[in-house]
Structure 1
Amino acid sequence: MSSTDYKFFGWVAKDKNAIGNMTWEEYTPKTWTENDVDIEISHCGICASDLHTLRSGWGATDYPTVVGHEIVGKVVKAGKNVKHLQVGDRVGVGAQSGSCLECKYCKEQREPYCDKGQVGTYNGRWEDNSKSFGGYADYARVPAHFAFKIPDGLASESVAPMMCGGVTVYSPLKQLEAGPGKKIGVVGIGGLGHFGLLFAKALGADPVAISHSHGKEADAKKMGAVHFISTGEDKDWDTKNRRTLDGIVCTVNNADMPIAKYAKLLKPGCKMIMVGLPESALENFSLTPLILNNVFIGGSAIGSSKEIPEMLEMAAKMNIRGWVQTRPMKDANQAAIDMEDGKARFRYVLVNEKHSGKL
């Protein structure tokens, strides 16, 4: 155990107008247990989930909160019950920080689907009613079960967005059994989608990029895409590419997405897995393509304690790097605004310059 002469300061959101209006101040972290670690944060990715939460887009946020669940940093305190981590280890934390660890799904290392529900890395409540706070901050306190040692060779700014954005697409790619001989579509070439292309390629599949315009085509091809479909600029794109894909991972979160047309791209018996979550119900959704083509639509949430280390090992072994742009932690408000405006190519990562040189 190390010195605990540090305080928890972070960018605190106080109401639904918090995008661009967070305030840097001290807050009280979760109540310490001997199963926890304290992490000195060096990097934190900005995820679309942060924006949804800041503005209460997915329901009323439990303000005040500190968002950020793509955390990388150094363990500075470890509880007596923590065996797999020690002070000084570089670790990452994703979107989940708690579950019962006792139900069927937790024992199968499928913690995101815990029978009792999960505790988010931010905007959650623990059993004693203390709150979970995220990574736009100097320090994070989380149960050690949900902190993962990062392999050497992975740059912290590159690996941070893998902790949520990366594993959120890695998990459905594994569910689709992406590999040699399979063509896998990735809808939306952004923070999640660009990892979808990189990981699909690494798994041996042929990635197909699907985006509104051709503006990201050159980048998508560099990420491994063998084909590019523009839903906004290619005439009859759904008909011309009908039944060409063995699976789709859909990362977009706009309620007016042409989901029925996406379904037409699948071969009979194949699946589309949704990971983007719109703030309102889907519009203009017809079941006809599903029934007539024998295709399936499902969903997937983040990644598990089995999938995250597996993903990190693959990224280290195959030298996979996220396409990120770093921003100083002090500029979190402007970075959130720029993320909202779609300016990231393809993920913003906040750098806590007080700590980033210590790893």
Structure 2
Amino acid sequence: MVNIKLNFRDLIDKKNWKTLKQSLNELDPFDVAQCIKDSDEGDDVVLFRLLNREQAKKTFQHLSHENQEQIIEGLAQNIHKLSDLLNDLDPDDRTAFFEELPGKVTQQLIQLLSDDERKIATHLLGYPENSIGRLMTPNYVAVKPHYTIEEVFAHIRQYGKNCETIDSIYVVDKNWKLLDDIQIKDIILASPNQTVSELMDRRFVALNAMEDQEMAIRVFKDYDRASLPVVNEEGILLGIVTFDDIMDVVEEESTEDFLKFGSLQKPIINPLQTPTFILYRERIFWLTALLFVNLFSGAVLARFESVIQSVVSLVFFLPLIIDSAGNAGSQTASLMIRSLATGDVHL
């Protein structure tokens, strides 16, 4: 990766855009995202502009929110490319990006979407913050019970290209109520003349769009699925949630719990990149509170000064007591952190 970055730096300096463009579009999107992340200010937009539409879409989804904002700002003068990027993004990834932006900026970017994509974006953003509805994508493959397996394959070929995953095929009735989900493996192994209803067992797990995202984490963990359907109160299929989105939520929820454990309410993702004032503001209250607690402890010791002077041997027990208290605190902290990570304890 280091050699790749140095090579890109050399190509940029020499303004060898043709070779640079070819190299970028041949790399894995994750590697391109890493190069953009580690590039100098201004070079990140230069690199991103050279990506083709498909590569740009996949690379954007691997970038941090800060890098994504920089890319959007850099593309502001190229409305056509910016519009293409926003329209190409998967709905769930686009929603995750929009919800981190100021409302006014989000509204401006939504206006760059096509009519269909704008409806999808506003619909997903209409769900409560941190709800499962914010995570879902409406791009999935659904079939009817009377379809034959041959018809299912034809349906997948027609509509599966734009779906985020086709690991599971969802069975719905005429009112779009979810009846079952069938693994693609079972469909592949079935006879072409079999109907979908013959493969159905009606044992499916679904998420409610209005539930908290932590519920989705638990369900994915319990049922070991790559994707799960999302329904409303009436059981109508609204979309699906995929495992990659859940992994992002796991990281966010764990960070939030750890911050609460440390009495920090706002995320400090990278202390080295966080302004000193922010670090000071988020930590000063509890540090000051602990200072007064320690002053109180000192006052208690001072009150027993005469006892300590008369029985000097008591002083030898002070390090023992302090160390024991520290060890007990460390063990408690370790147990609590593990419980927060596994979900056994919620703050």
Larger strand percent: 1
Max radius of gyration: which structure? Answer: 2
Larger helix percent: 2
State TM-score, norm by structure 2.
0.24
Larger RCO, structure (CA 8 Å, separation 6 or more)? 1
State TM-score, norm by structure 1.
0.23
